[in-house]
């Protein structure tokens, strides 16, 4: 187990933030509560997982910086600049609390706002999650596209390195079959699934989710 590892147990996903001989600092990536120290033995039921699996649990899909507009980038950098002074002290509860307080005063926001940005960043370790979401983004996705995105995150963007066809088949089984396994009358074709993948894929996520961060 090492710093920045993602671990998953059922619907709980945690990220390792610091490793000491007798304790480990973690953050709950789903609840996004402040980091806590735990004994290493408490994490034994948690196997490693990928950023794709985290996205499938939280519903927050990662984006490329280039996909953000100017206003989103501006806000993203402002929020990161706000929390940057806190990052070196994440492992020290006392100092971290003081820096959060001074940061809130300096920027004229509540301490909870600072904590929210900090925990969001620590959960994903990616600055783009701090960018405000466009309200129209999710509404533009049809239910079929939401199902395809879910299947890619759940079955394709994983270290199991399953094929695109396997991800498609699992999507049909999970989203388009009834309790008896009978396929619905209407469902996306494999060509539609492959087109959605090609249109939405990000090579960085592909390599990191299937090979791990070290390989990337």
In the chain, what is the greatest distance between 2 CA atoms, to the nearest angstrom?
60
Q: What are the b/e assignments for 95-115, b being 16+ CB within 10 Å?
A: ebeebbeebbeeeeeeeebbb
pLDDT tens digits for range 149-188 = 999 989 988 888 889 999 999 999 999 999 888 999 999 9
Distance CA 73, CA 52 (A): 23
| In the predicted structure, residue 211 carries a pLDDT above the cut 70 | no
pLDDT value at residue 172: 96
pLDDT band at 216 (very low <50, low <70, confident <90, very high): very low
pLDDT of residue 73: 93
Residue 207 scores a pLDDT above 70: no
Whole-angstrom Cα distance, residue 11 to residue 79? Answer: 28
> 10 Å Cβ neighbour count for 212?
13
pLDDT attached to residue 215 = 47
The secondary structure element, H or E, covering residue 12 is strand 12-19
Report helix, strand or coil for 13: strand
Classify the C-alpha dihedral 109-111-112-114 as positive or negative. positive
Above 60 in pLDDT, residue 213? no
Average pLDDT over residues 80-106: 95
Say what the pLDDT of residue 173 is: 94
Mean pLDDT of the chain: 87
Hey, where are the domains in the chain? Answer: 6-58, 65-134, 141-211
pLDDT-derived band at 135, boundaries 50, 70, 90: low
> Taking 60 as the threshold, does the pLDDT of residue 139 lie above it?
no
Q: Is pLDDT at 190 greater than 70 in this prediction?
A: yes
pLDDT value at 59 more than 60: yes
**What does each C-alpha distance from 118 to 34, 54, 174 come to in angstroms?**
9, 17, 35
Residue 210's pLDDT is 55
* pLDDT attached to residue 46: 86
């Amino acid at each position: 187990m090492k710093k920045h590892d993602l671990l998953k147990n059922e619907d709980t996903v945690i990220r390792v933030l610091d490793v000491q001989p007798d304790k480990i600092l973690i953050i709950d990536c789903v609840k996004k509560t402040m980091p806590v120290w735990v004994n290493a033995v408490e994490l034994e039921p948690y196997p490693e997982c990928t950023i794709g699996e985290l996205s499938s649990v939280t519903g927050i899909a990662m984006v490329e910086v280039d996909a953000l507009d100017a206003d989103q980038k501006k806000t993203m950098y402002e929020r990161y600049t706000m929390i940057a002074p806190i990052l070196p002290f994440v492992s020290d509860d006392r100092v971290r609390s003081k820096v959060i307080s001074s940061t809130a005063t300096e920027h004229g926001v509540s301490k909870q706002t600072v904590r929210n940005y900090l925990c969001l960043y620590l959960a994903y370790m990616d600055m783009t999650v701090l960018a405000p979401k466009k309200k129209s983004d999710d509404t533009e996705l049809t239910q079929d596209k939401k199902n395809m995105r879910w299947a890619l995150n759940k079955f394709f963007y994983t270290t199991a390195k399953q094929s695109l066809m396997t991800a498609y088949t699992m999507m049909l089984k999970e989203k388009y079959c009834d309790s008896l396994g009978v396929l619905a009358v209407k469902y996306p074709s494999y060509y539609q699934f492959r087109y959605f993948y090609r249109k939405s894929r990000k090579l960085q996520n592909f390599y990191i989710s299937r090979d791990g961060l070290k390989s990337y």
